[in-house]
Amino acid sequence: MFRNYFKVAVRNLSGNKVFSLINMLGLALGMGVCLLIYQYINFELSYDKFHINAENTYRITQTFTNREDLKPSVYTTYALGPRGKEMIPEIIDFVRIRPWEIEPVITNTENNETHQEDKVWSADSDFLQMFNFPLKYGDPESALQNKHSVVITEQMANKYFGDTFPIGKRLKVSLGITSGDFVVTGVLNKLPVNSHLQFDMLLPLAFLLESHTFYRENDSNG
């Protein structure tokens, strides 16, 4: 029975070659477009899902009122994290993140390799425990514990140290009063492209709060 159906289909296709070609091309194009749309949607929905506790992780925002205008912002006061954990039992833990707005100059103090970097962030010491970015070298529990430690991506390690083992090496960060020397305590594998957190260097937030009056005052105001 199937053989008969197949023969009839072949005869119909042979008898209407142009019409059959148009139908097949249309079907193939439609299926291809559907697959591309599916892949795009699937990728967009996968953002940040690789973190173990992604379903229970929330980003806090705030809205500023300026006369009649409402301006949403992803920035909040530094004290909101610890104060929120203290007052709201449902908050298990928090992490504060601060991208540097001005690009610092980073120098390898051994060979004076110097570059200006635009993806330098400050973060709380347990950042690598809350977010599951894979470390190639280092311990996620202790990598940011010291105020003068720095965690860099594998690309940055190759950029500044080449084939030399980077752990324990020093980098000088130059940006006014927030300048300082830091020891490499962790190297991250290449960050997943489906992460909205994209950075090259992580510095302890404690150093920023300690060295900069503006940030320190914002940290104390809830």
Q: What confidence tens digit (pLDDT) does each residue in 63-99 have?
A: 877 777 788 888 888 888 888 899 999 999 999 999 9
Please determine, for residue 52, whether its predicted confidence score (pLDDT) is greater than 70.
yes
User: What residues does each domain of the chain span?
Assistant: 2-45, 95-219
Please determine, for residue 150, whether its predicted confidence score (pLDDT) is greater than 80.
yes
Please determine, for residue 8, whether its predicted confidence score (pLDDT) is greater than 60.
no
Q: Where are the alpha helices (DSSP H) in the chain?
A: 2-15, 17-45, 80-87, 127-130, 154-161, 205-211, 213-219
pLDDT at 9: 59
pLDDT at 221: 44
For residue range 188-213, list pLDDT tens digits in order.
Answer: 999 999 999 999 999 999 998 887 66
Q: Let me know: does 64 contact 71? Beta carbons within 8 Å.
A: yes
| Average pLDDT value for residue range 34-52 | 93
pLDDT at 14: 67
**Which of 3 and 168 is assigned the larger pLDDT?**
168
Q: What are phi and psi of 63, to 5 degrees?
A: -120, 125
